[in-house]
A and B are shown apart, each in its own frame.
Chain A
Amino acid sequence: KQEVTQIPAALSVPEGENLVLNCSFTDSAIYNLQWFRQDPGKGLTSLLLIQSSQREQTSGRLNASLDKSSGRSTLYIAASQPGDSATYLCAVPNNDMRFGAGTRLTVKP
């Protein structure tokens, strides 16, 4: 059974700081890994999808990496802004998509 873990559970940083969110998974036989953002009371917004054959995927200030052999993915956010404040979730898709519990990020002005 795939287990997905996200560390830290919460993170507070000052505006402008670069930061890294971590995601680990127990079964390395994955097709891909997806990062989502969830604002309070809202649904999930897809940020990045990394295919198992890729090592990195970038979108604007976001960069996600994937290391299947070690069962890890990181989401790097450059020059953080207060608007980045949200919960970030990683998920390993399959017929039975498994989610981490998320990292709640607060970026202080």
Chain B
Amino acid sequence: NAGVTQTPKFQVLKTGQSMTLQCAQDMNHEYMSWYRQDPGMGLRLIHYSVGAGITDQGEVPNGYNVSRSTTEDFPLRLLSAAPSQTSVYFCASSSSGTPVTEAFFGQGTRLTVV
């Protein structure tokens, strides 16, 4: 029972480079989301998806793209990395519906942009 798996765990990028953070869940959850965690700012929602083919913006979406082609996967793309995107990124999933049920988090990706 893997739960939510994020890859890579660590990444260093140069300014302007692009990369994709991978997130996969094996719980057949409809709802998936991406957060970034910064010191003093807590966790902030970047993008979320309520099902395959459906995505929406969260609190801090600028500089990030997402897509959801399958229920299991929800990759986060940085098209042109900036030092301000240095952060720890977490992917989460939960069953959708009302009420929203328990959320499960991956172990995080620590990204440094130099």
Contact = CB atoms under 8 A, between A and B. Distances in A.
Interface of A: 31-32, 34, 36, 41-46, 49, 51-52, 89, 91, 93-97, 99-102
Nearest to B104: A46
Contacts of B48: 95-96
Contacts of B59: 96
B100 A93 contact: yes
Nearest to B4: A43
Nearest to A30: B99
B42 A32 contact: no
B43 A93 contact: no
B90 A93 contact: no
A77 B44 CA distance: 27
Nearest to B39: A101
Contact of A32 (B33, B40, B45, B100): B100
Given A95-B48, A101-B42, A46 B99 contact: no
A41 B99 CA distance: 30
14 contacts: A31-B99, A31-B100, A34-B102, A42-B107, A43-B106, A44-B92, A45-B105, A49-B101, A51-B99, A89-B43, A95-B100, A97-B33, A97-B35, A102-B42
Contacts of B98: 31
Which of A31, A43, A91 has the largest count of B CB atoms less than 10 A from its CB? A43
Contacts of B56: 95
A41 B100 CA distance: 27
B43 A99 contact: yes
Contact of B102 (A41, A49, A99): A49
Contact of B103 (A42, A97, A102): A97
B42 A94 contact: no
